[in-house]
Amino acid sequence: MAQVFTKSMARNIFYGGSMFFFLLFLVLTFDTINTLPKRDNRAALTPVVVQGKLLWEENDCIGCHTLLGEGAYFAPELGNVYTRYGNSLDAIKGFIMSRPKDGIPGRRSMPQFNFSDAELDALAEFLKYASEIDTAGWPPNIQG
Amino acid sequence: MTYQSQAVAKPYFIAAIALFVAQILFGLIMGLQYVIGDFLFPEIPFNVARMVHTNTLIVWLLFGFMGASYFLVPEEAETELYSPLLAKVMFWVFLVAAAVTVAGYLLVPYATLAEFTMNEKFPTMGREFLEQPTIIKVGIVIVALAFLFNIGMTVLKGRKTVVNLVLLLGLLGLAVFFLFAFYVPENLVLDKFFWWWVVHLWVEGVWELILGAILAYVLIKVTGVDREVIEKWLYVIIAMALISGIIGTGHHFFWIGAPEYWQWWGSIFSALEPLPFFMMTVFAFNMVNRRRRNHPNKVATLWALGTAVMAFLGAGVWGFLHTLAPINFYTHGTQLTAAHGHMAFYGAYVMIVLTIISYAMPLLRGRTAANSNKSQVLEMWSFWLMTVSMVFITLFLTGAGILQIFLQRVSDDPQPFMAVQEQISIFYWMREIAGVVFLIGLVLYLLSFFVGNREPEAVVEVRG
């Protein structure tokens, strides 16, 4: 870093480089948004699924689980739980319903949320919707 | 301390340290829940402990960044802070907001908190790290705007150094990208895509500007190296950080429904993300080796060097380990991610805040340059205990992650998540023990503020 490379050159690389790559990022984002309708299963976004997403958020499910690999690593991946449970909405609902209120001695256990039937439906439909997003083949196998 | 108004930094640093303690205690609770699944259940479920652990981390780092700004901006600008009163008021607003949020997490079920704060009217809750009720998020924006206004006006009326400009740019970016926390579309893919505009563009983007500016400031102070040299390095480092990091966001878009070309963009650019951290290490050691004076605050210099090394290891090396798409296909969402997250946050952001606290606190408490030798030696012990235990936490989580990936995703007979968790519990136990050592280091860190206060300041030995 002798005199040939001056501070103002470094500054210009910073401003020019950051601007250029941010603009490129915007272009790629724009293209992504245009491509998403083919991948993101938006046709399945019914009011029930939307309600399920809100329930997913308002009960902080992401605080223990991952969804498409993002979240906490304390409990199983749920992006593909619908397929893991044999494409069964009832199996998902049954699991959520049957959690013991005081947990299981010595083991991790999901809390009992006391959801209504409509809420259970919404959550299960949301997880079904999530499982049908095109995730480029992830996860590697059914275990998530 | 050259300017009276720099004193407003002190409560910010104290609040940061207090929340740091809370963060570690809840981290230990979570660590134990990994092996004793029903620990504190159902009173403090894992997700609640995790929200406290991650949210206190973010908030105490923000307290640290704000304290750092209030301390260094007036000195760099060679003028008093625009409004010390506004800084004091905003301190209390931010602290109360943080306390209310943590109390809310702990005292009522999360769904009740959502209902009570009318989340359904403007849903923003329940996304990782951005779990705060919407009203609290609005409060954060108000605090951030008042803070930016105060710092911006100070910079404008004074000397415009590169450190100040880069810091201000980083803080501005921090505020702007936080606004994406209010965008929660119903479409899960869009939701995830723009969630990263907060999370990635913060920690692998604009926060690196803040990190670079604080590090440059401390190095100018403790080494006495010509500002021109340090500023040139700073520009090169942050240029590399943004050139690699912005498109590098793509490494989060591989498996969430975004187009597959992100596997190329994300892999290639994020593979370059270690470069700015490597340069930071070279820079920090170079400046200290070429120092024009020996600063009596040796422990602040230690923290500065430690930041550079640990940020390179945690953010750079551990990030690179799983950033290439073909590898990330197997590692995505495992304990390997947790390993990287721990060392990266500690190395880059925890350590830079502790660096500026270590440099500034003695001055804020009336010393002319540094704490007594006794206090500094204790702080150095805490440096090594916390840093080495974090290395071990990272190694144990890496071990857990590699086994998890093999048993659950690679082997011929992939096993269910919970079956795998039980088989790797030995690593979780060792991680918890390392966590206890970290806590001991933290206790020594706290003690270092209380010992040796009556002893004379450390001085530089003059060589005959």
Distance CA B26, CA B105 (A): 12
Alpha helices in B249-315 (DSSP H): 262-271, 274-289, 298-311
State the smallest CA–CA distance between residue A20 and chain B in angstroms: 8
- The pLDDT tens digits of the residues spanning B275-314 come to 999 999 999 999 999 999 999 999 999 999 999 999 999 9
Residue A132 forms contact with B (CB below 8 Å): no
Q: Is A6 on the interface with B (CB under 8 A)?
A: yes
Residue B464 in this model has a pLDDT that exceeds 90: no
Chain centroid to CA B329:
27
Question: Is residue A34 included in any domain, yes or no?
Answer: no
Specify burial of residue A116 (Cβ count, 10 A radius: 0-12, 13-18, 19+): exposed
- A4 in contact with B at a CB cutoff of 8 Å? no
> Which residues in chain A land under pLDDT 50?
none
pLDDT per position as a tens digit, B95-108? 999 999 999 999 99
| Gyration radius of chain B's alpha carbons | 22
Token duo for residue B278:
């490597």
> CA distances (Å), B394 to each of B319, B373, B398, B430, in order?
12, 31, 6, 11
For the stretch B203-234, what's the b/e string if a residue is b when 16 or more beta carbons lie within 10 angstroms of its beta carbon? bbbbbbbbbbbbbbbbbbbbbebebebbbbbb
**What is the sign of the dihedral through the CA atoms of A106, A110, A113 and A117?**
negative
Q: How confident is the model at residue B367 (pLDDT cuts 50, 70, 90)?
A: very high
Residue A115 maps to a domain: yes
pLDDT value at position B1?
86
Within a domain: A120: yes
pLDDT at A2: 55
Q: Which residues contact B106 (CB under 8 A, 6 or more apart)?
A: B44, B48, B52
The letter for the amino acid at A17 is: G
Q: Is A5 exposed, middle or buried (0-12, 13-18, 19+ CB in 10 A)?
A: exposed
In a domain, A70, yes or no: yes
Residue pair B266/B312 in contact by the 8 Å Cβ criterion? no
Q: Is the pLDDT of residue B463 over 70?
A: no
Flag whether pLDDT at B132 surpasses 80.
yes
Residue appearing with tokens 């206090």: B375
Q: Judge whether A102 is closer than 8 Å to chain B, CB to CB.
A: yes
Whether A82 is covered by a domain: the verdict is yes
Q: How confident is the model at residue B460 (pLDDT cuts 50, 70, 90)?
A: confident
Pick A40's closest partner by Cβ from B51, B189, B418. B189
Q: With respect to residue A16, please indicate whether it lies within any of the assigned structural domains.
A: no
* pLDDT band at residue B244 using 50, 70 and 90 as cut-offs: very high
CB B249 within 8 Å of CB B201:
yes
Residue B187 has pLDDT above 80, yes or no: yes
Residue B462 pLDDT > 90, yes or no? no
Contact B247 A24 (CB under 8 A): yes
Cα separation of B2 and B73, whole Å?
Answer: 11
Share the mean pLDDT of chain B. 97
pLDDT at B360 over 90: yes
Question: Of the candidates B37, B51, B259, which has its C-beta nearest A108's C-beta?
Answer: B37
pLDDT band at B421 (very low <50, low <70, confident <90, very high): very high
Give the length of chain B: 464
CB contact under 8 A, B257 and A134: yes
Residues of A with Cβ-Cβ distance to B233 under 8 angstroms: 1
Residue B410 corresponds to which amino acid? Answer: V
Q: What is the pTM of this model?
A: 0.97
Type of residue numbered B73: V
DSSP classification of residue A39: T
H or E element that contains B231: helix B227-248
Output the domain CATH number for residue A117: 1.10.760.10
Angle between helices B9-35 and B351-364 (to 10 degrees): 140
Beta pairing, strands A70-71 & A66-67: antiparallel
The 10s digit of each residue's pLDDT in B445-458 is 999 999 999 999 99
Q: How many domains does chain A have?
A: 1
- Minimal Cβ distance to B265: which of A28, A33, A102: A28
Residues B15, B22: Cα–Cα separation, whole Å:
11
- C-beta atoms of B125 and A133 within 8 A: no
What is the Cα–Cα distance from A26 to A44, expressed in whole angstroms?
Answer: 27
* Helices B227-248 and A7-35, packing angle to 10 deg: 10
Size of interface A-B (CB pairs under 8 A): 232
Helix (H, G, I), strand (E, B) or coil at A137: coil
Alpha-carbon B36 to chain mean position: 28
DSSP string, A54-107: HHHHHTTGGGT-EETTEE-SSS-B-TTHHHHTTS-HHHHHHHHHT--TT-BTTB
Q: Which two tokens stand for residue A126?
A: 């949301």
Rounded-to-integer distance, Cα B172 and Cα B411, Å: 47
Whose tokens are 């600008």? That residue is B77
Share of chain B above pLDDT 70, in %: 99
Mean pLDDT of the B320-325 span = 98
Asked if residue B192 lies in contact with residue B257, where contact means CB atoms within 8 angstroms, the answer is: yes
Average pLDDT over residues B330-351: 98
Is the residue at A59 inside a domain?
Answer: yes
DSSP B105-162: HHHS-HHHHHHHTTGGGS---SSTT--S-HHHHHHHHHHHHHHHHHHHHHHHHS---H
Q: What token pair was written down for B324? A: 């290439």
SS3 B261: coil
Structural domain span for residue A56: 46-131
Does the complex come out with an ipTM higher than 0.85? Answer: yes
Q: Does B121 score more than 80 pLDDT? A: yes
Residue with tokens 């809310």: B104
A119 part of a folded domain: yes
Q: Is the peptide bond before A139 cis (omega within 30 degrees of 0)?
A: yes
Task: Name the DSSP class of B181.
Answer: G
Closest Cβ–Cβ partner in B186, B263, B415 for A53: B186
B189 contacts B122 by C-beta, under 8 angstroms: no
A 49-78 residues with CB below 8 A of B? 50, 53-54, 56-64, 66-77
In angstroms, rounded to a whole number, what is the distance separating the alpha carbons of residues A31 and A38?
Answer: 12
Query: How many C-beta atoms lie closer than 10 Å to residue B272's C-beta?
Result: 17
Residue B178 contacts by C-beta under 8 Å, 6 or more apart in sequence? B140, B141, B144, B198, B202
